[in-house]
Structures are given as structure tokens and as C-alpha cells.
Amino acid sequence: MTEIVLASASAARQAMLRQARIPFTVIPARVDEEAIRQSLDHEGASPRDVADTLAEYKARQVAGKHPNALVIGCDQVLDFKGRVFSKPETKEDARGQLQALQGAAHQLLSAVVIYEDQKPVWRMIGKVKLTMRALSEDYIDAYLDRNWPGLSDSVGAYKLEEEGARLFLRIDGDYFTVLGLPLLDLCGYLTNRGIIEG
């Protein structure tokens, strides 16, 4: 059976694969994401290209050390009017993101790239449009008090599977993609390849 390696430390991605009964090993990629983002930003790369490139870097880095495995690299980018949001490093960063996003729509782009025999064999970028309701300053403060620092690993400073669901008026797209992985497309690929049963 082909070994599947997830090149991500994301608890949400690991939970999705486990719940879908996909056998895998976790080997987080060690790449300098910030340096790559800065380089891509300097080149004027689109948010979509940022997500795709980071996912590929992660898959390639792990595949280089595990050439016989099927390696899944992932990345998620928040695109707000062409501006890429990173994970908030401080509570003030999180507040700034929520203040910018409230009352408006943004996109989450969840990229996955699969490497096999040390080369890319499949890629997908899931897109979800989320419309956040108008938020009062008091609610933002209380929300952050209740949920920080748990939001520091989520772009946009929200987790839809938690209280973050209360922030939104509308979500157009796939729930799994919001969590960071276009799971249905990934399952389809693995099933079609005969890597998992279906």
C-alpha cells in the first residue's frame, strides 16, 4: 500500500484525514514560509499563486526525504481585495484583521499539492467566499478575550468550527476548504488512483 504523508502540522487537516479514514503519517515540512511569502509579494504574485507555491514547497521538501511516499503539501491564504492576510501574531494583529474584514466579503484559498516520486502529480485550490457581518468593537474585544491565543493559528482570526461561526452572514463554498483542505477533491483523487477504497 502506498504510504501517505501529510506535510503539515495542522491539527484541523489531520483531524479531517483521520475522520475520513485515510491512513497517513505526519511529517511537517520545514520551510521558511515568511521568506517565501515576501519573495512572492515582491514579484507581485496573486493570493492564489501564493497558496499554491507554499503548498508545493512543503510537499517538495518532505518528498525529498521520503521519495517512495505520496506527500500532501497544503497551504491556506486569505484574500481580502487582493491583499494576503497571514496568521495573526498578536491579539492586536487579530483585532486589526477582524476590523478590516467585518461587514465585507473575502476569500479563503486552500491549496493542496501532491508529490510522488519527488515530482508534482496533482494540485487543487479550493475557494470559499465568506461574508462577515458588521461587528461592534465591544464584541470584537470580548471575542478575542474568549478565544485568544487559540486564534493565532488561523488567518482572519476566526475558526468556523468554533465561535467564529457567529461572525458570518453567508458562506459560499465547501466547509472542508474553510478548515484548510479541499477534502472532497482529495478523496476523489486518492480513490480514482486506487490509493484508498471507494
Q: pLDDT, tens digit, for every residue of 105-156? A: 999 999 999 999 999 999 999 999 999 999 999 999 999 999 999 999 999 9
The residues that bridge with 170 in the sheet, in sequence order, are: 131
Q: What is the mean pLDDT of residues 44-50?
A: 95
Cβ atoms of residues 56 and 123 within 8 Å:
yes
Note the pTM of the prediction, 2 decimals.
Answer: 0.93
Q: Tell me the pLDDT band of 86, cut-offs 50, 70 and 90.
A: confident
What is the per-residue pLDDT across 89-99, written as a single tens digit (0 to 9) for each?
999 999 999 99
For residue 37, the tally of other CB atoms under 10 A from its CB is: 18
Q: What is the mean pLDDT of residues 51-59?
A: 97
Q: What is the pLDDT of residue 50?
A: 96
Domain spanning 4-192: which CATH class is it, in words?
Answer: alpha beta
pLDDT of 1 over the 80 cut? no
Cβ atoms of residues 180 and 111 within 8 Å:
no
Cβ atoms of residues 112 and 55 within 8 Å:
yes
Extended strands (E) in the chain:
4-6, 25-26, 70-80, 83-85, 105-116, 119-132, 168-172
Q: What is the mean pLDDT of residues 156-182?
A: 96
Q: What is the mean pLDDT of residues 156-175?
A: 96
- Tell me, yes or no, if 75 is annotated catalytic: yes
pLDDT of 6 over the 80 cut? yes
Annotated catalytic residue, options 41, 49, 52, 75: 75
**Residue 166 grid coordinates:** 457567529
- Alpha-carbon distances of 90 from 84, 95, 154, rounded to whole Å: 17, 9, 12
Domain segments of the chain as ranges: 4-192
Give the whole-angstrom CA distance, residue 168 versus residue 171: 7
Cβ atoms of residues 171 and 105 within 8 Å:
no
Query: What is the rounded (10 degree) CA torsion for 25, 30, 32, 37?
Result: -20
Q: What is the mean pLDDT of residues 51-68?
A: 97
Q: What is the mean pLDDT of residues 37-52?
A: 95
